Structure 1
Amino acid sequence: MPRKRKSERAGWGEGQIQQLAEDKWLVRASGGTDAGGRRIRPSRIVYGSRRTAVSALRQLQEELDTGTYIPPENMTLGDWLREWFQAEYGCAVGDPRETILKTAKGSGTTASRYESIIRLHIIPSIGNVPIQRLRSTHLRHYFDEVGKTQSMTTLELHYMVLHSALDAAVKERLVRENVASSMMGKPTRDRNDSPADVLENCWEAEEAARFLAVAKEAGPQWAAFFTLALDSGMRKGELCGLQWKDIDWEAGTVRIERSLVRASKEPVFGPVKNRRPRTIMIAPETLALLKAHRKHQIEIKLRMGEAYNDFGLVFAKEPDKYRRQDVIGRPLQANNLGEREFLRLIKKAGVRPIKFHGLRHTCATLLLKARVPVHYVAARLGHTDVGTTLRIYAHAIPSGEREMLEDLRRALGLFQK
């Protein structure tokens, strides 16, 4: 027999919650009657726990009671984007950037980017289009106009915002289909983690060794920084957000649980990508360099006293003749690393220029060539699944194992469609 749907009806004017499936609910508020005597019962589909459904019902009822409820047939794309962003990130379109960075659910950087795209671009351009009348041609015209001033990378972010918001609108039954999916000429770009990018920005073992030899001559901090980057495969923001408390000296491990979002007077940190902290073991030589760097940093702190901005960071700005004293101890500016110290050391080592992200590619490639199991490499890099690692680094797997893993990918359905 089919499973009976659970339905809970509250008193008159208090709404109703009905369970449609596991983690899927129908919430229905009560708004009295209209001029014809028909009851006003707007509803929404909610995904998650019962607590989520109760919260959604309260919000819907409050909108009815305060006169802010917008019937689906009157809702514009702008109305929906504001509602979706609030539900998805826990802050509002129009909130100050600092507020979004600090209070957003998930990545504050992502929320801040999406908010500015919605507020400055999408709403002024096509925000007034009723969401039920939105067509792929509206989106195509929007991207044609925005594309005159924005890069392909930025256009892809705009598309991701629209696609995600319209996907949610489909789930809420506001629209029948996601018109962004059927749009012709979707913006795409080459990614940092594409196989082509890996091949272009990856060193051989001999090149990596030459680079590290030069980095070790650049001082304790850079010696530890670049050695840890190649040893761990950590992302740039993760390295810049690493704190001393994350290192277990006895176990020889590093806990990676935050990423630098903004290097300012009051630094902003966020979760790591995919929101999955990880603990990895590092080489004894890397640990020794970190200890030497820590000793050097302590000497700087003792010399500067209270003038040192102590955020507990492993890698921080150090004194030099070009730097103001009041910034010593603040986080390294991740966006400048590739253009400054990294490029200088590359030239001195005489190795092939690569992007900073190429250190991560080099780490993964050398591990796989050494026949380290793929699932260990995936865990070290913080990939959510082995399929991601296989897609990006298939070229690095020894040929005999590559065919075997291709068969495994087919069996597990890991090929990208």
Structure 2
Amino acid sequence: MGEKRPELPRGVTIRSHKTGETINITFTFKGVKCREPLSNIDVSPKNIKYAARLLGEIHNKIERGAFNYADQFPKSPRIKQFGNSQSKKTVKEYLDDYIELCKTRELSPSTITGYKKCARALASLHSFHVTELSAAIIKNWIQQQRTTLKTMRNRLSLLSSAIDEAVTDGLLPSNPVSLVSASRYRNEGITSESTYVVDPMSPFEVEAILKAAGNIQWENLFRFAVHTGMRGSELCALRWEDVDMINNTAHVQTASVEGITKGTKTKAGKRKVELDVDALRALKEQKPFSFIHSRFIFLDPKTGSPWANAESIRKKAWVPTLKKAGVRYRNTYQTRHTFATMHISKGANLFWLAGQMGHKGPEMLFRNYGSYLEQYDESRLLKKNNRD
């Protein structure tokens, strides 16, 4: 006996004919019941699920008034009934639609934010009608870029996913983005190394920043950041219940991104951070402001609510404080680098330090702070020779 076929989703049917079977989808458009075959795919559980998703997307487009029959089914006889003009959708519109689709799939806010940044970086391609997009145009775009290979690939990955929808809509026979390799056509003069620089604050700069903080809650936040090495998103989500005042530790379990609390960036990110005298001082001085009023430790003084994200801290508190202190600008992540280099200069055990920062092992420390480790070793060797 043949394998029993699972129950078909509503609107999806299987039609048998002389040459085999075809998946059909049924929907109502402009008061007309429409049935369209998906003749380019085999009948399988996987493709039945695909047909159900496609039907859901069609229903969504119909509700939004964005459905064009010719786009979706360019060879359908019903085009004559509904009009045979294909929509003039641009690359930007497909990028926007894809990001909206990702939102409905409930991808993380940080992922959506990253996609939006990639989409903005593709601005020179936005105005192209999607049917005009070609491998030659993508090749030319690659050659004009001045970013790292990794960044370029991230942007092309988003573009490729968006243009896949145009292929599904029948506007393109194949995806031109998939025909081009970024590594092959990139400008040879561009280095593959990241332009990000580890640029920690000196002890004098840290002192100046803390003195210039315009609010005691800002000062507490900055002091705690420098002396724990926590990420900004982790600081935003840190709660009083996460702190163990008996053992002087803080249990990092969550992070706040775009105002949404979620798990830490990595599995290793879930950790217990040892609190030194300065970190404990920051908590003690912060207690009157948030212990009774909120579960969260660090609050935005202007709203009385937890900080939404690290970017909010940067704009509202960090930038004005650095200006007032006369300290050269660095982003807030440099407090984390300051923590690392401060402990490296003291000869801290690298496995311990990696654990404090939420790394799997010391490899990341060597990658980011190799020059500081070399300087420390040279300084220690010099001191030893002087003693000898």
The TM-score range, normalised by the shorter chain, is: 0.5 to 0.7
1:160 to 154, 159, 174: 154
Deviations 1:192-224 (A, max 9, x none): 7x3xx11xx22234543x336626x86542332
* Aligned partners of 1:371 and 1:398 also within 8 Å: no
Give 1:361 shift. 1.3
Aligned residue pairs: how many?
A: 314
Residues 1:218 and 1:123: Cα distance change in structure 2 (over 3 Å): closer
Q: Does 1:316 align with 2:303?
A: no
Q: Which residue of the partner structure matches residue 346 of structure 2?
A: 370
1:211 to 184, 208, 226: 208
Q: Which residue of the partner structure matches residue 37 of structure 1?
A: 19
1:255 to 244, 247, 251: 251
Q: Which residue of the partner structure matches residue 268 of structure 1?
A: 260
DSSP 3-state at the match of 1:255 = strand
Partners of 1:328 and 1:64 in 2: how far apart? 45
Give 1:103 shift. 6.8
DSSP 3-state at the match of 2:128 = helix
1:243 to 233, 239, 246: 239
* Aligned partners of 2:232 and 2:309 also within 8 Å: no
Give 1:158 shift. 6.9
* Aligned partners of 2:236 and 2:298 also within 8 Å: yes
Deviations 1:289-321 (A, max 9, x none): 20231124357x4xxxxxxxx5x3211122xxx
Q: State the AA in 2 paired with 1:231.
A: H
Partners of 1:39 and 1:225 in 2: how far apart? 65
Give 1:225 shift. 0.9
Partners of 1:371 and 1:390 in 2: how far apart? 14
Q: State the AA in 1 paired with 2:261.
A: F
Give 1:371 shift. 2.4
Partners of 2:51 and 2:329 in 1: how far apart? 59
Partners of 2:353 and 2:339 in 1: how far apart? 9
DSSP 3-state at the match of 1:395 = helix
Q: Which residue of the partner structure matches residue 297 of structure 1?
A: 290
* Aligned partners of 1:255 and 1:277 also within 8 Å: no
Q: State the AA in 2 paired with 1:214.
A: K
Residues 1:112 and 1:366: Cα distance change in structure 2 (over 3 Å): closer
Q: Which residue of the partner structure matches residue 50 of structure 2?
A: 60
* Aligned partners of 2:290 and 2:298 also within 8 Å: no
* Aligned partners of 1:117 and 1:158 also within 8 Å: no
Moved more, 249-258 or 390-399: 249-258
Matches within 5 A, 1:302-381: 310=294, 312-318=295-301, 323=302, 327-331=303-307, 334-335=310-311, 337-338=313-314, 341-343=317-319, 345-346=321-322, 353-381=329-357
Partners of 2:147 and 2:116 in 1: how far apart? 17
Give 1:182 shift. 3.1
DSSP 3-state at the match of 1:331 = coil
Partners of 1:260 and 1:384 in 2: how far apart? 21
Give 1:229 shift. 0.8
Residues 1:294 and 1:13: Cα distance change in structure 2 (over 3 Å): closer
Deviations 1:127-156 (A, max 9, x none): 4468xxx52x332445689x8xxxx78998
Q: Which residue of the partner structure matches residue 229 of structure 1?
A: 225
* Aligned partners of 2:318 and 2:332 also within 8 Å: yes
Higher Cα radius of gyration:
2
1:125 to 125, 128, 139: 128
Unaligned runs of 5+ in 1: 1-8, 16-29, 45-52, 72-77, 86-90, 302-309, 403-417
Q: CA RMSD in A?
A: 5.2
* Aligned partners of 1:252 and 1:282 also within 8 Å: yes
Which TM-score applies when normalising by structure 1?
0.56
Which TM-score applies when normalising by structure 2?
0.59
- Percent identity, aligned pairs only, is 18
DSSP 3-state at the match of 2:286 = helix
Residues 1:65 and 1:378: Cα distance change in structure 2 (over 3 Å): same
Give 1:368 shift. 2.0
Q: Which residue of the partner structure matches residue 28 of structure 2?
A: none
Q: Which residue of the partner structure matches residue 6 of structure 1?
A: none
* Aligned partners of 2:15 and 2:21 also within 8 Å: yes
Moved more, 283-292 or 59-68: 59-68
Residues 1:188 and 1:339: Cα distance change in structure 2 (over 3 Å): farther
Unaligned runs of 5+ in 2: 23-39, 59-71, 74-88, 165-173, 379-388
